[in-house]
Amino acid sequence: MKRWNGWGDESVKQKVPEGARAMLEDLVGSPALQQSIPREKMIEKVPESRLGQESSVISKDAGTRLDHAHGQSLPDWVGMRCGTLSRFPDAVAFPESEAMLEDVLSLADKEKMTVIPYGGGTSVVGHLDVPEKDAPVLSLSFERLNRLIDFEPESRLATFGAGVAGPDLEAALKARGYTLGHYPQSFEYSTLGGWVVTRSSGQQSRYYGRIEDLFAGGRAVAPAGVIEFPPFPASAAGPDLRQVFLGSEGRLGVLTRALVRVRRMPETDDVYGVFFPAWDAAVSAVRELAGSDLPLSMVRLSNEEETMTSLVLAGKDKEIELLKKYLRIRGLDEMSWCMMLMGIAGPGKIASAGKKAAKRIIKKYKGLSVGRAMGEAWKKSRFTAPYMRNSLWDMGYAVDTLETAVTWEKVGSTVKQIQEAIRQAISDKNEKVHVFTHLSHVYSSGSSIYTTYLFRIAETPEETLQRWRAIKTAASRAIVEAGGTISHQHGVGVDHKPYLEAEKGKPGIEILRAVSGQMDPGQRMNPGKLVD
Ligand SMILES: Cc1cc2nc3c(=O)[nH]c(=O)nc-3n(C[C@H](O)[C@H](O)[C@H](O)COP(=O)(O)OP(=O)(O)OC[C@H]3O[C@@H](n4cnc5c(N)ncnc54)[C@H](O)[C@@H]3O)c2cc1C
| Residue 205 · residue 183 · CB < 8 Å | no
Q: How far is the CA of 198 from the centre of ligand 1 (A)?
A: 6
The boundaries of the domain holding residue 282 are: 268-382
Same domain, 445 and 390: yes
Same domain, 153 and 249: yes
Q: Using the 8-state DSSP alphabet, how is residue 229 labeled?
A: E
- Atom 43 of ligand 1, nearest CA residue: 254
Same domain, 103 and 83: yes
- Atom 27 of ligand 1, nearest CA residue: 194
Q: H-type helices in 116-254, by residue range?
A: 166-174, 192-198, 205-208, 211-214, 241-245
Same domain, 47 and 82: yes
Spatial CB neighbours of 76, under 8 Å, sequence gap ≥ 6: 70, 85, 126, 128
Q: How far is the CA of 197 from the centre of ligand 1 (A)?
A: 8
Q: Is residue 63 part of a domain?
A: yes
CATH of residue 275's domain is 3.40.462.40
| pLDDT score at 335 | 67
Same domain, 296 and 368: yes
For 337-352, the DSSP string reads -EEEEEEEEESHHHHH
CATH of residue 391's domain is 3.30.300.330
Q: Is residue 520 part of a domain?
A: no
Same domain, 257 and 299: no
| pLDDT score at 34 | 72
Same domain, 232 and 326: no
Q: Is residue 153 part of a domain?
A: yes
Helix or strand run (H / E) with residue 158 = strand 157-161
What gap in Å lies between CA 45 and CA 25, rounded to an integer? 35
Same domain, 47 and 125: yes
**Which protein residues are within 6 Å of ligand 1, measured from CB?**
7, 71-72, 116-124, 127-128, 142, 162, 184-186, 190-191, 193-195, 197-198, 200-201, 249-250, 254-255, 386, 489-491, 526, 529
Same domain, 246 and 309: no
Q: Is residue 508 part of a domain?
A: no
Ligand 1 atom index nearest CA of 163: 41
pTM: 0.97
What gap in Å lies between CA 336 and CA 275, rounded to an integer? 10
**Helices 304-314 and 317-329: angle between axes, nearest 10 degrees:** 140
Q: How far is the CA of 437 from the centre of ligand 1 (A)?
A: 22
Ligand 1 pocket test: pick from 197, 205, 383 the residue with the most ligand atoms within 8 Å of its Cβ.
197
Q: Is residue 519 part of a domain?
A: no
Q: How far is the CA of 120 from the centre of ligand 1 (A)?
A: 7
Same domain, 351 and 375: yes
Q: How far is the CA of 301 from the centre of ligand 1 (A)?
A: 24
Q: How far is the CA of 54 from the centre of ligand 1 (A)?
A: 27
Establish how many alpha carbons lie within 13 A of residue 375's alpha carbon, considering only the half-sphere containing its beta carbon: 23
Q: How far is the CA of 193 from the centre of ligand 1 (A)?
A: 8
CATH of residue 70's domain is 3.30.43.10
- Atom 21 of ligand 1, nearest CA residue: 195
What are the φ and ψ backbone dihedral angles of 254, each rounded to 5 degrees? -120, 150
Q: Looking at 382, 398, 425, which one is the last position of a domain?
A: 382
Q: Are strands 137-141 and 91-93 parallel, antiparallel or unpaired?
A: parallel
Query: Helix (H, G, I), strand (E, B), or coil: what is residue 12?
Result: coil
Same domain, 422 and 470: yes
Q: How far is the CA of 196 from the centre of ligand 1 (A)?
A: 9
pLDDT tens track of the chain, all 532 residues? 999 999 999 999 999 999 999 999 999 999 887 778 999 999 999 999 999 867 789 999 999 999 999 999 999 999 999 999 999 999 999 999 999 999 999 999 999 999 999 999 999 999 999 999 888 999 999 999 999 999 999 999 999 999 999 999 999 999 999 999 999 999 999 999 999 999 999 999 999 999 999 999 999 999 999 999 999 999 999 999 999 999 999 999 999 999 999 999 999 999 999 999 999 999 999 999 999 999 999 999 999 999 999 989 988 777 777 777 887 887 776 668 899 999 999 999 999 999 999 999 999 999 999 999 999 999 999 999 999 999 999 999 999 999 999 999 999 999 999 999 999 999 999 999 999 999 999 999 999 999 999 999 999 999 999 999 999 999 999 999 999 999 999 999 999 999 999 999 999 999 999 999 999 999 999 999 999 9
Same domain, 245 and 332: no
| pLDDT score at 317 | 75
Q: Is residue 12 part of a domain?
A: no
| Residue 443 · residue 299 · CB < 8 Å | no
287: how many CB neighbours lie within 10 A of its CB? 21
Residue type present at position 529:
K
Ligand 1 atom index nearest CA of 165: 25
| pLDDT score at 27 | 96
Domains identified in the chain, total number: 4
Q: Is residue 77 part of a domain?
A: yes
Q: How far is CA 182 from CA 135, 203, 492, in A?
A: 37, 7, 20
Q: How far is the CA of 143 from the centre of ligand 1 (A)?
A: 13
What gap in Å lies between CA 101 and CA 51, rounded to an integer? 18
Tell me the Cα Rg of the chain.
Answer: 23
- Atom 9 of ligand 1, nearest CA residue: 184
Ligand 1 pocket test: pick from 127, 190, 227, 402 the residue with the most ligand atoms within 8 Å of its Cβ.
190
For 258-320, the DSSP string reads EEEE-EEPPSEEEEEEEEESSHHHHHHHHHHHHHS---EEEEEEE-HHHHHHHHHHH--HHHH
Q: Is residue 436 part of a domain?
A: yes
Residue type present at position 441:
H
Q: How far is CA 459 from CA 33, 86, 518, in A?
A: 8, 19, 46
β-sheet bridge partners, residue 276: 338
